[in-house]
């Protein structure tokens, strides 16, 4: 945990506190040189564009977002925000544990038998939401702010967010289709050297059908999904203090250089910058 160093605005800043394990923050003061591959997170993600504008890709939609816009990604949503030409833009992001948010929803009266309900909107220009998010970010990274204050601020903001945005309609659970069986196989074996034939065999599906159905369902190729899954796992390991070289090897990357390139492509930050 450290204060935001403004010396290099293009370098990402990450904040974490072991006393608040349910939330993580990051910011970039100048995002002109930072480009993201399409990716997703296991957690709930919410961000605010604090200056300039950028392109926001969410699932199959793409649009320009600018200062005052809040972007929202439910767990598993494929997305990317990238610069427009050489236009300046900056942003702050929060990554929030889904089970913690589920508790907020239950406290607000949601049936406790239900799992986390996805947020209905992908972005919002609500001024109260934008101001509340930037204020919460400032509270979280404040070095003189007491932990209780940070906890109360987080609960208050996400309660207001839920009231403002609501939830998407709950998806009725259906038996796994073949694309989902392929996804499950990747999730179960992502640290191994998986081949296309392995995935096809596990899902009982042809290669051409797999590619078409998987991209339609998950908005990524099976390979892109595999790399994204490895990066998700690597983030968890790095946050726990693991050595970068060990994480690279155990997460299934060919070597540390390959891990470094993939990590930076997905988070616009190196493993060392993220590890703090």
Rounded mean pLDDT for each run of 10 residues along the chain, 276 residues in total = 48 91 94 87 96 93 94 95 90 96 88 88 95 97 94 93 75 65 95 92 89 89 94 94 94 92 92 89
Q: What is the pLDDT of residue 173?
A: 43
Q: Is there a single domain that holds both residue 161 and residue 34?
A: yes
Pairing assessment for the beta strands 44-58 and 13-15 based on DSSP bridges: unpaired
Does residue 4 belong to any structural domain of this protein?
A: no
Q: Is there a single domain that holds both residue 97 and residue 187?
A: no
Domain end position, chosen among 132, 165, 198: 165
Domain end position, chosen among 108, 139, 165: 165
Residues 163, 76: Cα–Cα separation, whole Å: 22
Q: What is the pLDDT of residue 107?
A: 87
**Contact, 71 vs 130, CB < 8 A?**
no
Q: Is there a single domain that holds both residue 158 and residue 199?
A: no
Q: Is there a single domain that holds both residue 100 and residue 199?
A: no
Residue where the block lists tokens 């947020």: 119
Q: Is there a single domain that holds both residue 220 and residue 251?
A: yes
Does residue 224 belong to any structural domain of this protein?
A: yes
Residues 136, 157: Cα–Cα separation, whole Å: 7
The tokens for 139 are: 């509270």
Residues 56, 20: Cα–Cα separation, whole Å: 29
**Contact, 101 vs 81, CB < 8 A?**
no
**Contact, 53 vs 25, CB < 8 A?**
no
Q: What is the pLDDT of residue 9?
A: 61
**Domain span at 247:** 178-275
Q: What is the pLDDT of residue 31?
A: 87
Does residue 193 belong to any structural domain of this protein?
A: yes
SS3 call for 9: coil
Q: Is there a single domain that holds both residue 152 and residue 17?
A: yes
Q: Is there a single domain that holds both residue 79 and residue 144?
A: yes
CATH at 235: 1.10.10.60
Domain end position, chosen among 165, 190, 219: 165
**Contact, 78 vs 40, CB < 8 A?**
yes
Q: What is the pLDDT of residue 54?
A: 94
Q: What is the pLDDT of residue 176?
A: 62
Q: What is the pLDDT of residue 111?
A: 82
Q: What is the pLDDT of residue 156?
A: 92
Number of domains in the chain: 2
Does residue 173 belong to any structural domain of this protein?
A: no
Does residue 172 belong to any structural domain of this protein?
A: no
Q: What is the pLDDT of residue 143?
A: 93
Kindly tell me the sign of the dihedral angle through the C-alpha atoms of 260, 262, 268, 271.
Answer: negative
Q: Is there a single domain that holds both residue 153 and residue 183?
A: no
Burial-class residue 44 by CB neighbours within 10 Å (0-12, 13-18, 19+).
buried
Q: Is there a single domain that holds both residue 129 and residue 187?
A: no
Q: What is the pLDDT of residue 209?
A: 85
């Amino acid at each position: 945990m450290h204060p935001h160093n403004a010396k290099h605005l293009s370098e990402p800043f990450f904040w974490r506190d072991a006393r608040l394990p349910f939330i993580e923050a990051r910011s970039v003061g100048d995002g002109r040189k930072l480009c993201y591959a399409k990716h997703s997170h296991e957690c709930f993600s919410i961000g605010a564009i604090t200056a300039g504008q950028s392109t926001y890709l969410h699932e199959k939609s793409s649009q320009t977002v600018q200062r005052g816009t809040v972007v929202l990604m439910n767990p598993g949503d494929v997305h990317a925000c990238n610069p427009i030409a050489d236009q300046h833009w900056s942003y702050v992001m929060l990554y929030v544990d889904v089970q913690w948010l589920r508790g907020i929803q239950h406290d607000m009266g949601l049936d406790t038998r239900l799992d986390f309900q996805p947020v209905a909107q992908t972005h919002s220009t609500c001024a109260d939401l934008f101001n509340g998010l930037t204020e919460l970010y400032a509270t979280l990274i404040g070095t003189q702010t007491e932990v209780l204050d940070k906890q109360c601020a987080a609960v208050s903001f996400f309660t207001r967010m839920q009231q403002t945005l609501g939830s998407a309609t709950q998806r009725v659970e259906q038996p796994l289709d073949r694309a989902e069986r392929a996804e499950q196989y990747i999730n179960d074996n992502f640290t191994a050297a998986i081949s296309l034939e392995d995935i096809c065999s596990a899902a009982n599906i042809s290669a051409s059908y797999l590619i078409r159905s998987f991209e339609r369902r998950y908005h990524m190729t099976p390979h892109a999904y595999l790399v994204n899954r490895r990066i998700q796992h690597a983030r968890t390991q790095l946050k726990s203090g693991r050595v970068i070289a060990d994480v690279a090897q155990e997460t299934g990357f060919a070597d540390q250089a390959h891990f470094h390139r993939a990590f930076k492509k997905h988070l616009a930050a190196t493993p060392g910058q993220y590890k703090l």
